[in-house]
Structure 1
Amino acid sequence: MTKSHPLHQPINAPKLGTFTRSFTPIVELAAVPAVTSPCPSPTIDLKVLVIASDGQEVDLPAIKQALEYLGTPYTVYVASQTPNGLTPDKLSNGCHGFYQGIILTTGTLSYFNGTDWVSALSQQEWTNLWNYEATMGVRELSWYTYPTADFGYQSPNGEVDTSITPLPMNLTAQGQAAYPYLNATNAVTIQNAYTYLAQPLTDGATVPLFSDSNGNALVAVSTYPDGRQALSMTFDSNPSLIHSIVLSYGLINWLTNGLFLGERHIYMSPQIDDVFIDDTVWLPITPCGTPVDNTGTTYRITGDDLQAVINWQAGKRSDPASANLTLTMAFNGYGATTDAYTPDTLTPLATANQNQFYWVSHTYDHTNLDNLDSADATTEITLNDQIATTLGLTNFSVQNMVTPDVSGLTNANFLVAAYDNGIRYLVSDTSLPGYNNPSPNAGIYNTLEPEILMLPRYPNNLFYNVSAPDEWVAEYNCLYSGFWGRNLTYQEILGKESQFLVTYMLKGDLDPWMFHQPNLRAYDGTHTLLSDLLDLTLQKYAQYYTLPIISPTMDSLGQNVANWMQYNNAGVTASLIPGVSITIAAQKGALVPVTGLNTAGAEIYGGQPISYINLTAGQSVTLPLT
């Protein structure tokens, strides 16, 4: 189920019982009324409990996606499958709590049982849940909520189908504290999600985090006299919606009080294939249906083109968010040899400015590797490594290769030669079956050579054979005018393609992106197709986030992916005594990321510490939180 829909109030809506809402003004999100707890110093597992009504909720995949990109352990409990099953022992054992946060797919967990809309939890189960939250100091998050007084809202004053009328919402002052990574000067627009409009209660117990221009609270935190805190959103979500993606980190960070297993970074890793050789280009007069290799025209970038790219990249680095942006040049060394291309203004300029880029082998002369024998495969690898040495490429490692046409991944001859010559990281194509990420940010160990890790790489519609706007527009419309029902302009194509790229970034996706050397042609002396596309991508990114963008080398990226996969498969568990200590254990060896844990040497990203705890198999460590 992917279409957003209205919520239905259940006939057995949960009642807060004798609880009355606090009238103590709450000015800080962390401020909670003092409550005597039977567990003043509980032990709480670092795991999130996601409670769904029937498992068909549109927002459930969005919740899972958010947690999986972070690497935060979670359990999904589908309440309707086990009626009356949420007993106290499912949540805790004495003062040992099993979950550090509770996520509800919808506020009342309403679903249609074939006769009526009912809550998937009984009143007793709700009471068990609320008692657990109050006793352990565990927060609750309702991902999609019909606004009622129980969540801190006045009665709804309207409903909006934002697929027709998008709804901008702005951070409040309190919201800025909860979402420091968002650009507070810009609105976050809710689109393609059913939305309820309601004013917040004025009892002092409700803190709006986002509101619209009429003062309706769309995201709010409500505090109860028993000390519980619940954050709720009055709009729907799915994994593809931008508002859902950009809010998700702040939601999980709030839910966990800023201390959780996992980590978040923003990546941009453009890889440009075929550097030093030429590619066919699609001229604007090329008839639709022409084979792409039979256009009769080629292009190889010049020194002037590369200088324009260097100037552009330097300009991007002047922005703190993209200060580390570095393009990766996947090169074919044959094109840099004497007399391969005459005149050759590219190789001298590339050599003089080689430290401005990362360099990755793309084989010596771009031979397809699917059917090569061992000797020829070895030659393709070693000759290009020699060219890297000859050119003095300092940001180069023999561990990496981008194979031509993403070939050779099932050729044992090539794979053995690759391993024997030091290659440990290859790329795959996410658009091909079996080569996409098996889970967020995970790679694929090659089945024929398991010591080689394949890094899934995103293709896109900036085609390999276009070097100027009119070429791209012509070929794009040959392929997609039927889909859109008309021809698109250059700006429209940029808008659509940049939206894919910025969405990857906002999710925290680390897969590299595939481009080709004709895309670096300075078609007007200054701009390139790639710079136009990335400019718009970064412009869109800056509308949402202020976080610095990471552009790692391919081997650094590969090591990150390997560490991530090892962590996800290591059976890592953790528990904390709030304000005192955290204990982390692993069944297998792993480098465990813990956001919010400030140890010696911890990374600071987005204002938060991230510690990486290296554990051997079966090891457990306890670290102080103060």
Structure 2
Amino acid sequence: MKRTTRTTVLTVGALIAALGLGAAPAQADTTTPRIDLRVLVVSDGGPATAAITAELDADGTPYTKVDLGSAGRPVIDAAFLADTVDGRPRAKFQAVVLPNDNPFAAGSAEMAALAAYEQTYAIPQVDAYTYARPQTGLQVPASGGYAGSVDGTTAQVTAAGKAGAFGYLDGSVPFEDNSPSVGESYAYLSTPAPGADFTPYVQATIPGTTRQGSLVGEYRHDGRRELVVTFVYNQYQQQFRLLARGIVEWMTGGVHLGASRNYFAVHVDDVFAADDRWDTQLNCTPGDVDCVNGSGTPDPIRMTPADVDHATAWQAGHHFTLDMVYNGAGSVDQREDNGGVDLLADKLIADRNQFRWVNHTYTHAFLGCEQNVTVVPWTCETNADGSTKWVSRATINDEIATNRAWGQAAGLPLDTQELVTGEHSGLRILPQQPQDNPNLALALTDDGVKWLASDNSRDPEQRQVGPATTVARYPMNVFYNAGRAGEQVDEYNWLYTSRAQGGSGVCEDNPATTTCLPAPLDTSTGYTDYIVPLETRTALGHVLSNDPKPHFIHQSNLAEDRLAYPVLDGVLDGYDALFAANTPVVNLRMKDIGVELQRRAAWKSALNAGQVTAYRIGTAVTVQAPNGTAVTATLPTGTTRGGTAFGSAYAGAVSGWTASAGSPLTFTLPAAATAPAATTGGGAKATGPAPRAKVPAGMTKQVPYTPDN
């Protein structure tokens, strides 16, 4: 009988103990890869990759851009994509964006390196705009699909899209058609190729059929995942703005630096005061500086108590709060002229807690240079030595402090750190006043002002004015001097038609003006049919661009014909029709908008300086940023930091700012948010070069329909 030798298997710990040795230190797991939170964007210079980088910029999500047209660009190889840090494999990019499914030449080593990288580290790839073909999981358009314009089409988010990265949308994705003479969209609508693992996320009806063709979908193959986009777009178009969040969330798996929300705030200037009315015969505004030598008779527009009731009811119906930017002298003058009676002020003060309130100075005085208004346009008065005559520090102080005291006496819930000067005066105004009034900063210090409104059309960048930081506001093209629709259209025609058509000639003198009209609008229908849709698109475009800057109108626009409401309804009702309940409009007051913009500027500066490091290992996310720079991130619901829930809910995720002291911040993702596993088996296959996809003329720049593009 054969003798069997029996062996005893000891654990490493038991063996050490048996030998009388001290316990060995625990070995750290270095097999789980580190995934840096940075996106690789490979660009061909086209509008689609430019749109995605614009979205990443706006969100504050770091990326590295490789321009295929640059002779000095880096070579995309294994060393460019990955390495080892502290014994742990590191993927340098959490996602890859390509202009199409394969922008390289046949047999490209770079495409092979990307494919292998994506397979090894489970890195997703976005095909920003590609031709529909079997290599992208789709049939070619000639096989029952469609290739052509999709201007004016309404696409739909599929059930799979709603259950995934596009769940913040209510369902519809309308494609713009802003100009009948310009091709603005082009798409390849097709169905999945036989046997392909392809899931459509956004689709539209193939013309001439009842079948749906994919516009955005996920293709899984060879251990890789691609988001296949088969329509072209630019960063301004509504269809891209609606889908941009989902593209970023899909590529990052919902774990990325930066954040995006949809903001809308509306300031109503000149409350308690009255606004002078446009004179349709003189083509100027009597009582204001555009009428030479005081010509014409002023005809003021002022809200009534009924207008206040309408405003409060409208707010309640839209779950929205207006910011009332007030001038107390307007009420004082009204009482003096009417035996102590001001029914409007009584009503507004009684309903004061229904609104937010901002100091707009007492009399709405011009606080820059002293103006010479005997000429149009006005000029700055000068001293004997030729220097500019400035409104004094004492005058500015009096305007700010008196209005604040009046508001406090009336019980208005103010934040005294906020200020909107009349016409944003005191700040530089080109061409007449190329610098700020030097007395403005001194007065702001005296009065404790920290947030100062500026006009986005002439002073868009946030900057310091003494102790205050500017908050740029978008002017809406609903005019301050119009209470009735016919007046608005008449002034619009004057501004934006040629001299031969009875206009001012602004468009002839400045061909870059984007609101020029080919012919005057009908004064009875032009407001509803032309101006309202235009202003709605413009404002909604800002809302969809992660832009928190407020918009401003005037109290006259809530009076008489109540011209503001059709535009505001268009923005808010239009928004509600597009977005799910988990993605509401964010309605901030001026100070909070200023803080958001300030944090973004500091974050962008840190990113550009290479001072931010961020990576994921399993369910741990580590971020290090400079001391004093708040960190912004979007992470899955249930994420914690130090045992405390992170961020606030928005669009199916959580996001927010976290203060940094310069040391690493660690966030713990929920267990369900495990990173996708790398595939095993054979190497990934790189497809052949993608066919050239069509880019219509309307893609190369924004179709000129907005006043601010």
Same fold (TM over 0.5): yes
Match of 1:387 in 2: 406
1:74 CA displacement: 1.0
Question: What's the C-alpha RMSD, in Å, of the aligned pairs?
Answer: 2.2
Q: Deviations over 1:66-111 (max 9, x none)?
A: 11221111111113424771121111113111111111123332xx
Structure 1 contact 361–384 (Cα < 8 Å) conserved: yes
**Mapping for residues 244-323 of structure 1, pairs under 5 Å:** 244-282=240-278, 285-288=280-283, 292-293=290-291, 296=297, 297-317=299-319
Distance 1:430 1:277 in 2: 23
Does the residue aligned with 2:548 lie in a helix, a strand or coil? coil
Among 131, 140, 161, the alignment partner of 1:146 is 131
| Equivalent position of 1:417 in the other structure | 443
C-alpha displacement of 1:477: 2.2
| Counterpart contact for 2:146–2:190, Cα < 8 Å | no
Letter in structure 2 aligned against 1:70: D
**What's the CA shift for 1:159?**
5.1
- What is the rounded CA distance, in whole Å, between the counterparts of 2:337 and 2:244 in structure 1? 51
Query: For residues 372 and 290 of structure 1, what CA distance do their matches in structure 2 show?
Result: 24
Q: Which residue of 2 aligns with 1:166?
A: 152
Q: In the alignment, which residue of structure 1 is the partner of 2:631?
A: 592
CA drift at 1:250: 0.3
Q: How many Å apart are 1:49 and its aligned residue?
A: 0.8
Q: What aligned pairs does 1:32-71 form with structure 2 within 5 A after superposition?
A: 41-53=32-44, 56-71=45-60
Q: Which residue of 2 aligns with 1:222?
A: 219
In structure 1, the residue matched to 2:365 is 367
1:116-265 matched pairs, under 5 angstroms: 119=104, 123-157=108-142, 160-162=147-149, 165-177=151-163, 178-184=165-171, 186-189=172-175, 192-213=184-205, 214-226=211-223, 228-265=224-261
Q: Distance in 2 between matches of 1:372 and 1:313?
A: 38
1:550 lines up with 2:569 in the alignment: no
Pairwise CA distance, 1:176: 1.4
2:352 maps to which of 351, 354, 378: 354
Conservation of the 8 A alpha-carbon contact between 1:455 and 1:511: yes
Question: 2:268–2:554: 8 Å Cα contact kept in structure 1?
Answer: yes
- My pick for the range that moved more, 189-198 or 414-423, is 189-198
Counterpart Cα distance in 1 of 2:185 and 2:46: 13
Tell me, what secondary structure is at the counterpart of 1:250?
helix
Per-residue deviation, 1:205:
0.8
Task: Mark the CA change 1:367 to 1:290 in structure 2 (over 3 Å): closer, same or farther.
Answer: closer
For 1:471-490, list aligned pairs within 5 A: 471-482=487-498, 483-488=516-521, 489-490=526-527
The alignment status of 1:103 with 2:97, answered yes or no, reads yes
Q: Which runs of 5+ in 2 are unaligned?
A: 1-29, 178-183, 206-210, 369-389, 428-435, 499-515, 671-709
Q: Letter of the 1:619 partner, please give it.
A: S
Q: Distance in 1 between matches of 2:147 and 2:528?
A: 30
Once the two structures are superposed, residues 107-151 of structure 1 have per-residue CA deviations (whole angstroms, 9 ceiling, x without a partner) of: 332xxxxxxxxx369611001111111111111101111112121
Report the AA paired with residue 598 of structure 2. A
Q: CA deviation at 1:166?
A: 3.3
Match 1:491 to one of 528, 536, 540: 528
Deviations 1:579-613 (A, max 9, x none): 32011101342221211152224211122112432
Instruction: Report the CA distance between 1:258 and its aligned residue.
Output: 0.5
Q: C-alpha distance in 2, partners of 1:387/1:464?
A: 24
Where do 4+ consecutive residues of structure 1 move more than 4 Å? 158-161, 289-295
- Is 1:604 the counterpart of 2:649? The answer is yes
- Match of residue 465 from structure 1: 481
Task: Report which stretch shifted further, 505-514 or 470-479.
Answer: 470-479
Question: Residues 169 and 190 of structure 1 are in contact (CA less than 8 Å); yes or no, is this contact kept in structure 2?
Answer: no
Q: For the residues of structure 1 that align with 2:187 and 2:455, how far apart are their CA atoms? A: 37
Amino acid corresponding to residue 386 of structure 1 in structure 2? A
Q: 1:14 maps to what in 2?
A: none
Report the Cα distance in structure 2 between the residues aligned to 1:156 and 1:146, rounded to whole angstroms.
Answer: 9
Structure with higher Rg: it is 2
User: What is the deviation of 1:380?
Assistant: 0.9
SS in 1 for 2:139: coil
Q: What letter is aligned with 1:50?
A: V
Deviation of 1:419 (Å): 2.1
Separation (CA, whole Å) in 2 of partners of 1:160 and 1:402: 51
**Alignment-derived partner of residue 36 in structure 1:** none
C-alpha distance in structure 1 between counterparts of 2:39 and 2:417, whole Å: 38
What's the counterpart of residue 598 of structure 2? 562
1:174·1:208 contact (CA, 8 Å) conserved in 2? yes
Assess if the C-alpha contact under 8 Å between 1:84 and 1:125 holds in 2: no
After TM superposition, the score normalised by the length of structure 1 is 0.84
Paired residues of 2:278 and 2:284 also in contact (CA < 8 A)? no
- The DSSP-based 3-state class of the residue aligned with 1:359 is strand
Does the CA-based 8 Å contact 1:43-1:575 persist in structure 2? no
Distance 1:279 1:58 in 2: 43
Aligned with 1:212: secondary structure?
strand
Q: Counterpart of 1:401 in structure 2: which amino acid?
A: L
Cα shift readout 1:231-268 (whole Å, capped 9, x = no counterpart): 01111111111111111000000000001111111111
Aligned position for 2:80: 90
Note if contact 1:80-1:120 (Cα within 8 Å) is conserved in structure 2: no
2:469 corresponds to which of 415, 434, 453: 453
Shift of 1:41: 1.6
Matched to 2:449, the amino acid is: I
Q: How many pairs were matched up?
A: 551
CA distance in 2, matches of 1:377, 1:340: 24
* Alignment-mate amino acid for residue 255 of structure 1: M
* 1:515 to partner: Cα distance: 0.6
Match of 1:377 in 2: 396
Question: Quick one: higher RCO (CA 8 Å, sep 6+), 1 or 2?
Answer: 2
Counterpart-to-counterpart distance in 2, 1:508 and 1:188: 19
